[in-house]
Structure formats: structure tokens, C-alpha cells
Amino acid sequence: MKLAILGTGKIVQEGALPAIQQADGIDIVAIFARPKSQGKAEQLAARYGISQVYTDYEALLANPGIEFVYVGLINSVHYEYTKKALLAGKNVIVEKPFASTAAEVQELCALARAKHRYVFEAVSLLHMPNFTAIRKALPDLGAIRAVTANYSQYSSRYDKYLQGEVLPAFDPQLSGGALYDINIYNLNFIIGLFGRPEQVTYMPNIGFNGIDTSGVVLMRYPGFFATALGAKDTESPCFVTIQGEKGWLRVLGAPNELKEFEVHLHGSGQTTRYALNRYGHRMVHEFQEFARIYAAGDEEAMLSGLAISAAVMATAEEARKQAGIVFGCDG
């Protein structure tokens, strides 16, 4: 897989670049940045041995030696950059959230199929061995009655927000906010296991510019409910619990890391802990899986992932619009 990296921000510097170094079958051949960030791109290129630096996206897309692009840019441009790449015949890995609306996700998925190209949403937890093991453990819990997820992390950008400075993570014009930035992991975890909910209610804390700084999504499924709490304005111990009539399962820590989980079955007298992930960096598994799917031509695996992406975005969009949160893309 010959890959070009788009962006020089935190998710690229601390996430994608070091993770890809540990993944097999991926060769980073280029990095793209806006002209004002060209210096950062050149520094990253030197550090990671990337041979080409671009500030012209059209020129990058015209390079026949690039098979994939990784879109690690701000939320609001995920749709635009992914669409341009697909139209140019490139395959795409797009950072979460896939796009800003369900219609955008559906359009990109249809375009990928029409162009016979691969497109993946980079949601780390869905590709971890721990997540696969959790799915396999669900039947042992019996009928599910409740799911609770809490991912709360005080944002490094929140102090500036309190002072009136709005960075992209808190900008509704740029598709920011707690739901799309942090609670999206909870939604992927829950919907990845149980599918799209029947009913959705969102109760957010809204900041001075109309963005959600934290909030709870309540989802109704046949026979049980699920709650997803995501906060960028406070912090707390993070966890996920799944309660069944025959036992419970608990994820220890944030769902995006999904480092370990434990299972307790009624009558067993013991709680068993599992830590099955093979890599310390949370993003290695997803890149390794994308490379495998591409090399194997496993289109069904791609489509399975896109089905989750579509269900998550439909749920997230319904939740934010119900709460009156207006993005720039809404017109």
C-alpha cells in the first residue's frame, strides 16, 4: 500500500505516523499540508523518511505512485478531500468522523463502490482483538438489558474556549463538538456490537457558540437501552459496561484504547480479565487490518465496516440536530 498522509496535526504526529511505522505492508510516500504548515510537513518528512512533500492537493492526486490517501484533517473537510481522492481514482482512509452528515457518508460509500475503490473510516477500537473477543462473549451474558459508556477527557483546547477562543474542536462551522469528536467512539462501540438504535435522544451541555462541550446520547434497542456519555469539558474514569441477565462485561478505560475488559458470569464466582491487543499504540491494529483487506481484495470486509460507519453517522446526525446543534455544512 503506497500511502500519502494529509495533515500535520496531533492525530498525524502522535497517531498515524508512529502507528504506521509498526504496521506491515504500508509505505508512506508523501505528506500534504497547507502552505502555512509546509514547514511542519517537511520536518515530519525528514523524521519519517517521507520522500515527497505537497502543498497542492491536485498535484498529489495526479501522482500515479500514490494508491491511498489518509485524511487526517479537520472534521469539516473529510467529505471534500475524500470525494476528490475517490474521483481521482485513489483509495482512502479517512479519520473519524467519516463526514458531517449521513448523506455525505452515503454518497462517499456509493462513489467508492462505483469507482471500485477502497474507503475505510479509521475507528481504532473496531479493529482490535479485544473488540472481536467482546463480540464473541456477548451470548454468554444472556439477554442484554443495559449498556453504559463513558468517555470523558478534559480537552487541551477547553481552557482557550473558556476564554472565548474557538479552535476547530469546538467550532460548529467545522463540525466540532463532543458528540463528533469523543462520543463518536462510544457510538461506534455500541453500534458496532448492536446495530443502529430504534430511538435516539441527545442531552448536551451547550457552550456560548452553540457547540456541545459534553452530552449524553440515550439509545433504545429491542429489550434494552444504551447510554453514551462523552465530555470534553470535564474528566472522569472511563469505562463501558454491558449488563446481561446471565452476567456482565466491563471495559476498563477509554473505548478508543480498549486495552482490556473483564467478564463476570452469575454463579461462576469469578471475574475473568482479558487483554488481547497485540500492539501498544492503539492505531496499529486498524492500519494493519486496512493493509490486509486491500492486499486480499476483501471487499466484503470493507463493506461491513462502511455499514457501521453509515449507522453511526445517521445516529450522530439525528442526535445533534435533535439538540439544535447546527454545523456549517447544514447551510
Per-residue pLDDT at 331: 81
pTM of the model: 0.97
Strand partners, 212: 206
3-state secondary structure of 3: strand
Write down all domains in the chain, each with its CATH number in brackets.
Answer: 2-122 (3.40.50.720), 129-277 (3.30.360.10)
Residue 133: CB atoms within 10 A of its CB come to: 16
53-95 per-position pLDDT tens digit: 999 999 999 999 999 999 999 999 999 999 999 999 999 999 9
Question: How many Cα atoms within 13 Å fall on the side-chain side of residue 71?
Answer: 30
Q: Which residues have CB under 8 Å from 273's CB, separation 6+?
A: 252, 260, 261, 262
pLDDT of 169: 96
- Ranges in the chain, pLDDT < 70: none
Count CB-CB contacts under 10 A for residue 172.
22
CB 93 within 8 A of CB 67: no
Number of neighbouring beta carbons within 10 Å of residue 198: 9
The count of other CB atoms within 10 Å of the CB of residue 64 is: 7
Burial of 245 (0-12, 13-18, 19+ CB in 10 A): exposed
Cβ atoms of 23 and 284 closer than 8 Å: yes
Measured distance CA(184)–CA(217) in Å, rounded: 10
Distance CA 317, CA 42 (A): 37
Phi, psi at residue 69, to the nearest 5°?
-120, 145
Environment class of 211 (CB within 10 Å of its CB; exposed 0-12, middle 13-18, buried 19+) = buried
